[in-house]
Amino acid sequence: MTDAATTMNGNTGGGLTTRNSGEAVRKSLKRRYAAEKRFQMYGILAIFFAICMLGLLFTTIIGKAVPAFTQTMINLEVTLYPQDIDPDGTRDPQVLSRANYRTIIRQAFFDLFPDVTSRRDKRQLFEMISPGAVFEIRDQVLKNPDLIGERVTIQMPLSDDIDQLNKGQIDRNLPEAERRVKDKQIAWFERLENRGLVETVFNTTFFTAGDSREPELAGIRGAAMGSLFTMLVTLLVSFPLAVSAAIYLEEFAPVNKWTQTIEVNINNLAAVPSIVFGLLGLAVFINFFGMPRSAPVVGGLVLALMTLPTIIIAARSALKSVPPSIREAAYGLGASPLQVITHHVLPLAMPGILTGTIIGMAQALGETAPLLMIGMVAFIVDIPQGPLDPSTVLPVQIYIWADSPERAFVERTSAAICVLLAFLVFMNVSAVFLRKRFERKW
Amino acid sequence: MNQSISQDTTGATPVTQSDAAPGIKIKADKVKVFYGEKQALFDVDLDINENEVTSLIGPSGCGKSTFLRSLNRMNDTIDICRVEGSIALDGEDIYDKNVDVVHLRARVGMVFQKPNPFPKSIFDNVAYGPRIHGLVDNKSDLDQIVQTSLEKAGLWNEVKDRLDQPGTGLSGGQQQRLCIARAVAVSPEVILMDEPCSALDPIATAKIEELIDELRSNFTIVIVTHSMQQAARVSQKTAFFHLGYLVEVDETEKMFTNPTDERTQGYITGRFG
Ligand SMILES: Nc1ncnc2c1ncn2[C@@H]1O[C@H](COP(=O)(O)OP(=O)(O)OP(=O)(O)O)[C@@H](O)[C@H]1O
Ligand SMILES: [Mg+2]
């Protein structure tokens, strides 16, 4: 044994001084282990780097988003004079909802500052209250018409600039001309604070309202529902289509020029820039089929087209990786081709198919460009009730808010990103859950 | 062994078999199999007797698996594969247009070289065939079939307490017996086995050989094997294939003691293969 090794080394080992193969192996072993260690180090470094970047991303976004989850409110005591709200005493909801609550608020608010008399000051003073304040009173009155004639304290939002001032986002040391909040307004706000009328509360509006020009009245609900409907349409259209296409191509289709062409085209389709799908949707679904603009159906269809190749490719490779011995076993027992697929191949391929689907859906969820082409970038206040209602989606909402000049939209942009990330996490978690279920069953 | 000699003598090989004897289950007549352009089997004539074990032997690549797979049309799953000639099961050509492959495979079951249980529970593995063919309509009948099949495969005592555990968690030998039980559960008339013991240790092999001998009373069995001893132990009839030709077929006893063809002799005595 040792002899043979020595002679071998003697014959081939030219410049080497090693006499013993054991020695050589030990030396090379050291090198091999070192290489392995180094490789592991690179891996750990790469992961560490990725985690750092992710951490940085999350801390900045969440840090910026946190203020958006609170809103500065004023507890204003108002007198609900019947002659302002319901002069005829009908208690008709129509009348109650159209009443002039603005005057009531003006009156109550100016009563707090008897020293403010000039028209200009009064206008600046009233600007401190959000235009949405009237809805707070209206909702209260509609809910309980017995309040008419009473004196009640109602909590209503202050304007976005005052909100920003309260959150310390506005630098009071800047010269007045460069600030959106005037010196007088700061003084009035401090007086309100001193009287204990100002309160910072959880910003429910952000989660219940649609978009608005006023940041303090703007919410993510509309875009979130739009995204939800769009994703539903995308999933319902692309998943069955893609899985059937993959099964046909993988299990039934003969290998010929035709199917090869189709395969090449599917692979190419996966690489087409997403905006092209938007143009296609505009031309086909809206102009040709006359579907509504800005609607989640159209958005969902466009994104489904975009997601199809991703899922098909993933599903085909998942189907391909099912061991042939399983198919043979089932065929050998007399299962029909469809039974072989539905009973054995598909369940085994399901985890892989789901992974592909989630990747495709996550892509679709973050997609903006094709949706701009079909009008989902519109300013929509109402919350969509179904996939046919005009709406926007989360990434487009983020884009719109990021583009708005108001300081208060900055934090709302970050908050919207958080909601988008939450959507993504939810989707991924449900995919992991489904995958686990399939794996456990088999 | 010389290539040219083998080609020359094939036509003249005296194939000793009793024509149209009672109890012929499968009759192969001039079977040729092609993979694309390449011909893998040349004019194979072979009768397989009912309730007997027939073993197919021969060097690697000679077409044993190809012949076996043409008996239940498993070759249909290979796109480029084409079969000519006729194979009759109980006098009916199985390659006839009117024959339903699904029905055929329920009558002619198969056990593969590598154990291939479904990634399901032991129970579901055995119950799969009866379920898809609708052989039972209530749970207790199904339980009964599963139990008798596992008993026939000699596995019942080892697994009766864990029928709900995955079949893939068994040992190799147990998996192979599970596959046999799975094939038996459909109550086929013929069971084809392609080197069922090649992945098993001697003890598991002995168990399966014992099993094959017991199964013979109810089923007709065709087995491909690379082990002469195995062929001698389990089979009543042996067929020797070489380069796509059926060289010789005879009673196993005679085959191993007094083969007619010198190629058979060479293979059996281990001079080539
Ligand atoms: N799917 C296939 N496609 C093309 N040729 C094949 C295919 N299967 C088998 N063949 C060819 O057919 C011939 C016979 O193969 P077969 O598998 O029947 O041999 P075998 O006798 O079973 O060999 P082994 O003992 O090694 O299993 C071989 O030459 C092989 O290359
Ligand atoms: Mg073989």
pLDDT tens-digit series, residues A288-346: 888 888 889 999 999 999 999 999 999 999 999 998 899 999 999 989 889 999 999 99
pLDDT in the model for residue B178 = 93
pLDDT tens per residue, range A185-199: 898 999 999 988 889
Is B156 part of the contact surface with chain A (CB cutoff 8 Å)?
no
pLDDT tens column, B126-157? 999 999 988 888 889 999 999 999 988 888 98
- Among A217, A237, A265, the domain-final residue is A217
* pLDDT surpasses 50 at B11: no
Angle among Cα B197, B178, B138 to the nearest 5 degrees reads 155
| Average model confidence (pLDDT) across chain B | 85
Which pLDDT belongs to residue A309? 93
Assess whether A211 and A256 both reside in one domain: no
Same structural domain, A105 and A74: yes
pLDDT score of A83 = 82
Report CA(B244)–ligand 1 centroid distance (Å).
9
pLDDT value at position B185? 92
Nearest CA residue ID for atom 19, ligand 1: B61
By the 10 Å C-beta count (0-12 exposed, 13-18 middle, 19+ buried), B33 is classed as buried
On whether both A130 and A18 belong to a single domain, the answer is no
What is the mean predicted confidence (pLDDT) over A1-22? 51
ipTM over 0.90? The verdict is no
- Record the tokens describing residue A299, joined without a space: 């958005």
Count of residues making up chain A: 442
Domain of residue A54, residue span: 2-65
Q: Amino acid identity, residue A156?
A: M
What value, to the nearest 5°, has the Cα angle with vertex A276 and ends A272 and A277? 90
Strands (E), chain B: 24-35, 38-49, 53-57, 81-89, 92-93, 108-111, 190-194, 220-224, 237-242, 245-251
Mind spelling out the 3-state secondary structure of B128-162? HHHHHHCCCCCHHHHHHHHHHHHHHCCCHHHHCCC
Instruction: Please measure the distance between the N-terminal and C-terminal CA atoms of chain A and give it in whole angstroms.
Output: 50
Alpha helices by DSSP H, listed for A113-203, are 119-126, 133-143, 160-166, 183-194
Is A356 within 8 Å of A188 (Cβ atoms)?
no
A211 with A104, same domain?
Answer: yes
Chain A contact for B100, CB < 8 A?
Answer: no
Mark whether A313 and A326 lie in a shared domain. yes
Which tokens is A262 given?
Answer: 């189709």
A392 touches A378 (CB < 8 A)? yes
- Cα distances from A425 to residues A361, B19, B26, in angstroms, run 12, 73, 61
- Average pLDDT (B51-69) is 92
Q: Is the CB of B23 under 6 A from ligand 1?
A: no
How many other CB atoms are there within 10 angstroms of residue A311's CB atom? 28
For atom 17 of ligand 1, the residue with the nearest CA is B65
In this predicted structure, the answer to whether residue A420 has a pLDDT above a threshold of 90 is: yes
| Coil, strand or helix at A319 | helix
**Residues A236, A378 share a domain:** yes
Domain count, chain A: 3
End position of a domain, from candidates A65, A88, A116: A65
pLDDT score, position A441: 54
Shared domain for A20 and A78, answered yes or no, is no
B89 contacts: CB under 8 Å, gap ≥ 6: B25, B26, B104, B107, B108, B189, B190
- The response to whether residue B156 sits with its C-beta less than 6 Å from ligand 1 reads no
Assess whether A379 and A235 both reside in one domain.
yes
User: Is the domain of A236 the same as that of A212?
Assistant: no
Q: List the one residue out of A80, A216, A209, A91 whose CA is nearest residue A154.
A: A80
Q: With a cut of 60, say whether residue A12 has pLDDT above it.
A: no
Judge if A403 and A284 occupy the same domain. yes
Mean of all residue pLDDT scores within chain A: 87
State pTM to two decimals: 0.80
Q: Which of B106, B116, B182 sits opposite A328 (nearest CB)?
A: B116
Nearest to A332 among B105, B120, B133 (CB): B105
Amino acid (1-letter code) at residue A364? A
- Residue whose structure tokens are 């900055």: A410
C-alpha R_g of chain B = 19
pLDDT-derived band at A17 (thresholds 50, 70, 90) equals: low
Confidence (pLDDT) at A57: 93
pLDDT at A60: 93
- Quick one: average pLDDT of A230-253? 93
Report chain A residues touching chain B, CB-CB < 8 A: 254-255, 323, 325-336, 339, 343-344, 348, 442
Query: Is B86's pLDDT higher than 80?
Result: yes
Asked whether the beta carbons of residue A332 and residue B114 sit closer than 8 angstroms, the reply is no
Looking at residue A52, what is its pLDDT? 97
Confidence of residue A169 (pLDDT cuts 50, 70, 90): confident
Q: Taking the CA atoms of A346, A351, A357 and A359 in sequence, report the sign of the dihedral they define.
A: negative
Residue B18 pLDDT greater than 50, yes or no: no
pLDDT at A16: 52
pLDDT of residue A415: 93
DSSP conformation class of A388:
T
Tokens linked to A334:
């007399």
Contacts of B72 in chain A (CB under 8 A): 332
- Per-residue pLDDT, averaged over B248-270, amounts to 87
Chain A residues near residue B190 by CB distance under 8 angstroms:
none
Which atom belonging to ligand 1 lies closest to the Cα atom of B68?
A: 18
Q: Give the contacts of A373 (CB within 8 A, at least 6 positions apart).
A: A275, A278, A279, A281, A282
Average pLDDT over residues A6-27: 60
Q: What is the CATH number of the domain that holds A328?
A: 1.10.3720.10
Residue B224 has pLDDT above 90, yes or no: yes
Mean pLDDT of the A140-157 span:
87
Nearest CA in chain A to B70: A332
Residue from A252, A326, A333 to probe the interface with B (highest B Cβ count within 10 Å): A333
Same domain? A59 vs A75: no
Q: Is A118 within 8 Å of A98 (Cβ atoms)?
A: no
Interchain contact, A329 vs B77, CB within 8 Å: no
Mark which of A65, A82, A105 sits at the end of a domain.
A65
pLDDT score, position A440: 59
Query: What pLDDT score was predicted for residue A28?
Result: 87
| CA A134 and chain centroid, separation | 31
Q: Are residues A356 and A422 in the same domain?
A: yes
Range with the poorest average pLDDT among A16-25, A247-256, B235-244:
A16-25
CA of B63 to the centre of ligand 1 (A): 6
Residue ranges of E strands in A16-165? 70-79, 151-157
- The maximal CA–CA distance of chain A, rounded, in angstroms, is 118
Ligand 1 near B82 CB (within 6 A): no
In chain B, % of residues over pLDDT 90: 45
Q: φ and ψ at B151, to 5 degrees?
A: -65, -45
**Which amino acid residue places its CA nearest to atom 31 of ligand 1?**
B61
According to the model, what pLDDT value does residue A2 have? 42
